[in-house]
A and B are shown apart, each in its own frame.
Chain A
Amino acid sequence: MSKILRLFLMLSILLGFNLKIFADSMIKIDGSSTVYPITEAVAEEFQKVYKDIKVVVGISGTGGGMKKFTANQIDICNASRPIKSSEQKQARMNGIDYIELPVAYDGLTVVINKKNDFIDYLTVAELKKLWEPAAQNTITKWSQIRAGFPSEKIKLYGPGTDSGTFEYFTEAICGASGKSRGDYTPSEDDNVLVQGVAGDKYALGYFGLAYYEENMDKLKAVKIDNGKGPIAPTYETVQNGTYQPLSRPLFIYVNRSAADRDDVQKFVEFYLKNAKNIVKEVGYIALPDKVYELAMKKFQDKKTGSVFKGVKIGVSAEELLSK
């Protein structure tokens, strides 16, 4: 018996490897962890309809995804920020062309403890004073931010420096991507930030709106005053563009040559058609209907390139697709 088994194993080692080399059609997606839940949900629905098309989604951050995207290893890149000029250069060098499609909005939310009763809103200037690099070790008490705030120690929580959230927030508040004070508690896991702020009356932190909405019992969102009065982050204020400057668009980038493939075409069209409802379900904010239509048209016309030169703050929905 065992002899037969051994013979059989040896035979299969010899034969097994030459059976099938190429798998069925597969769409490879990678990139931002922020955009991941949307793409995962779309892939889930898509595979219910198109059972023969396989979709795989990885998480390696917008930067990591872009690296693979510009090296032609994946078909679609999830991105929580526009493609950087250095990445555009890399793509050009490798002969990669791409179609930039906005798929949703995210509202970065500044949160404080539920018991915090002295902050209702903060102006962008106050946020800057709180977070800019010069604040390190000098702005340590709330009373330094605004007269009337208590003389209590400020505890700050924020995402790690690798995240797109960090890049966007620093750009929007401090004026340059990556410019931030360093003496805050960073975590790549937003739930850790939630715990941190929920446990300290004098704490402040920032992360995506979805994390705030799940923890409204423990946290309070700070209204942001950008010169037009304090605006609270809600589905409506993010969607209609009044919650500024902390609303940010999320993207997918489609490889131009992959866009000619039948399976990728079906997937992207499915994505843009169904994004509106799916985006809501996973906790993000849908773009206005018109923008999805424009995005669909842009994809069908195969218009390549990016409308951005680096991170840009406060872009209106239409602007995302103009030019």
Chain B
Amino acid sequence: MHEEKLIYKIRDNFFPVAGLLATVVSLGVLFVLIIDVFKDGYMRLNLQFLTSYPSRIPEKAGILSAWVGTVWIMVLTAFLIFPIGVASGIYLEEYAKPGKIKDFLEINISNLAGVPSIIYGLLGLQIFVYFFKMDRSVLAGALTLSLVVLPIVIVATREALKAVPLSLREASFALGANKLQTVVFQVLPSAFSGILSGVILAMSRAIGETAPLITIGALTYIAFLPTSPFTSEFPFITFQGLKDYFTVLPIQIFNWVSRPQKAFHSNAAAGIIILLVISLFINFLAIYLRIKFEKYMRRR
């Protein structure tokens, strides 16, 4: 009797321990990576590094065009994937009638999520760069990356909507709200934090994607920035930057890693740190928005 109890106890404790071990291992690897990158790159982290263009002299080289390009692409991608992804998710979850069309759409979206990103690069090259004649512009890059991560947003939106209890919808209908009102005022706000998580996930993936951008022909050496969206003349804002050439951090990092000179490898490490910081900042922003939103929801 006593022995049996012990076996149960061991069995009960086995899983949490295994889980903890798995967590520690993956975090440990991440930790080692971060330490290694910091060791190589920290001495290159200064203002000069952030405000200089690439150079053949490693100590004078910087990532200005790369990080500005990354921010441009990320902001634009967010603006593109949010409405399209969320609207698709709402349609599929709330409106689409079960049937062949819905099945067809669902299967294709799941398939798209599994397509290697370089395929999207080829698609972007043909459609955006050549067919729509966008050239190798910021807009073409952001559209291509949006294609890569849209399935993630759609799937996340659907999962978030699914998690909203049926009772909430029924209550809304019972009070006389129609379908649109129910979705917009009840379901969507309740699902919003889940949707935001999906968008964060998508953005984090997009920020590190290099292959599709190389495929559409994003440049490596570029010593100017996309035109700033803010101008001194009316209407004080311009979208000229969308048409400009760009490069992004992963491309610059990749280029430096493959150079023979060790000093460039330090630059690459410093670039990775900046990429991590930008990625963390985006996550932080999304979490901040989520908390803000949840507070707002509770007050309602």
Q: Give the interface of A toward B (CB within 8 A).
A: 8-9, 11-13, 15-17, 19-20, 23, 26, 30, 33, 36-37, 39-41, 43-44, 47, 54-60, 68, 188-191, 208, 210-211, 213-215, 278, 281-283
> In whole angstroms, what is the CA distance A3 to B23 when docked?
48
Q: Which of A12, A40, A208, A283 contacts B237 (CB 8 A)?
A: A12
B222 contacts across to A, CB distance below 8 A: 56-57
Q: Which of B54, B218, B258 contacts A189 (CB 8 A)?
A: B258
A37 contacts across to B, CB distance below 8 A: 56, 259
Assess A191 versus B257: contact at CB under 8 Å? Given A23-B244, A41-B56, A57-B220. Answer: yes
| Residues A56 and B56 in contact, CB atoms below 8 Å apart | no
| Residues B238 and A12 in contact, CB atoms below 8 Å apart | yes
A12 contacts across to B, CB distance below 8 A: 235-239
Chosen A-B contacts, 5 in total, with CB atoms closer than 8 Å, are A16-B237, A16-B240, A19-B239, A26-B245, A191-B260
Known interface pairs A59-B220, A191-B260; 16 further A-B residue pairs with C-beta atoms within 8 A, sorted by A's residue number:
A12-B236, A12-B239, A16-B235, A16-B238, A16-B240, A17-B239, A23-B243, A37-B259, A54-B224, A55-B221, A58-B218, A208-B260, A210-B260, A213-B260, A214-B260, A281-B56
| Residues B56 and A278 in contact, CB atoms below 8 Å apart | yes
Measured CB to CB, the closest approach of chain B to A28, in angstroms, equals 9
A19 contacts across to B, CB distance below 8 A: 238-240
- The answer, yes or no, to whether B219 is at the interface (CB within 8 Å) is yes
Chain B residue nearest in CB terms to A210: B260
A215 contacts across to B, CB distance below 8 A: 260
Assess A44 versus B56: contact at CB under 8 Å? Given A19-B238, A19-B240, A36-B220. Answer: yes
| Residues B221 and A43 in contact, CB atoms below 8 Å apart | yes
> In whole angstroms, what is the CA distance A295 to B134 when docked?
36
- The answer, yes or no, to whether B261 is at the interface (CB within 8 Å) is yes
The listed residue with most B CB atoms (<10 A of its CB), out of A12, A68, A213, is: A12
Measured CB to CB, the closest approach of chain A to B210, in angstroms, equals 12
B224 contacts across to A, CB distance below 8 A: 54
> In whole angstroms, what is the CA distance A57 to B55 when docked?
12
Q: Which of B223, B239, B240 contacts A47 (CB 8 A)?
A: B223
A188 contacts across to B, CB distance below 8 A: 258
> In whole angstroms, what is the CA distance A109 to B244 when docked?
40
> In whole angstroms, what is the CA distance A113 to B238 when docked?
57
Measured CB to CB, the closest approach of chain B to A281, in angstroms, equals 6
Q: Which of A55, A58, A283 contacts B223 (CB 8 A)?
A: A55
| Residues B56 and A58 in contact, CB atoms below 8 Å apart | no
A55 contacts across to B, CB distance below 8 A: 221, 223
> In whole angstroms, what is the CA distance A107 to B240 when docked?
44
| Residues B235 and A56 in contact, CB atoms below 8 Å apart | no
- The answer, yes or no, to whether B262 is at the interface (CB within 8 Å) is yes
| Residues A58 and B261 in contact, CB atoms below 8 Å apart | no
> In whole angstroms, what is the CA distance A296 to B57 when docked?
26
Q: Which of B221, B238, B261 contacts A57 (CB 8 A)?
A: B221
B217 contacts across to A, CB distance below 8 A: 30, 58, 60, 68
Q: Which of B235, B257, B265 contacts A11 (CB 8 A)?
A: B235
- The answer, yes or no, to whether B255 is at the interface (CB within 8 Å) is yes
Measured CB to CB, the closest approach of chain A to B138, in angstroms, equals 13
> In whole angstroms, what is the CA distance A139 to B29 when docked?
39
Measured CB to CB, the closest approach of chain A to B116, in angstroms, equals 17
Q: Which of A16, A30, A59 contacts B255 (CB 8 A)?
A: A59
B214 contacts across to A, CB distance below 8 A: 60
Q: Which of B57, B239, B265 contacts A16 (CB 8 A)?
A: B239
Chain A residue nearest in CB terms to B227: A20
Assess A54 versus B240: contact at CB under 8 Å? Given A12-B235, A16-B235. Answer: no
Contact flags (1/0) for B203-220 with A, using CB distance below 8 Å? 000000000001001111
| Residues B260 and A56 in contact, CB atoms below 8 Å apart | no
> In whole angstroms, what is the CA distance A54 to B54 when docked?
14
Chain B residue nearest in CB terms to A209: B260
> In whole angstroms, what is the CA distance A210 to B224 when docked?
29
Assess A40 versus B54: contact at CB under 8 Å? Given A17-B239, A57-B220. Answer: yes
> In whole angstroms, what is the CA distance A15 to B238 when docked?
8
Assess A58 versus B220: contact at CB under 8 Å? Given A23-B244, A44-B56, A282-B56. Answer: yes
Measured CB to CB, the closest approach of chain A to B72, in angstroms, equals 15
| Residues A44 and B55 in contact, CB atoms below 8 Å apart | yes
Chain A residue nearest in CB terms to B57: A281
| Residues A190 and B219 in contact, CB atoms below 8 Å apart | no
Measured CB to CB, the closest approach of chain A to B281, in angstroms, equals 23
Q: Which of A58, A210, A214 contacts B262 (CB 8 A)?
A: A214
> In whole angstroms, what is the CA distance A52 to B56 when docked?
21
| Residues A44 and B54 in contact, CB atoms below 8 Å apart | yes
Measured CB to CB, the closest approach of chain A to B19, in angstroms, equals 35
| Residues B235 and A15 in contact, CB atoms below 8 Å apart | yes
Assess A189 versus B237: contact at CB under 8 Å? Given A44-B56, A44-B223. Answer: no
Chain A residue nearest in CB terms to B60: A44
> In whole angstroms, what is the CA distance A191 to B258 when docked?
6
> In whole angstroms, what is the CA distance A210 to B264 when docked?
13
> In whole angstroms, what is the CA distance A23 to B241 when docked?
10
Measured CB to CB, the closest approach of chain B to A26, in angstroms, equals 8
Chain A residue nearest in CB terms to B54: A40
Measured CB to CB, the closest approach of chain B to A52, in angstroms, equals 11
Measured CB to CB, the closest approach of chain B to A190, in angstroms, equals 7
B257 contacts across to A, CB distance below 8 A: 189, 191
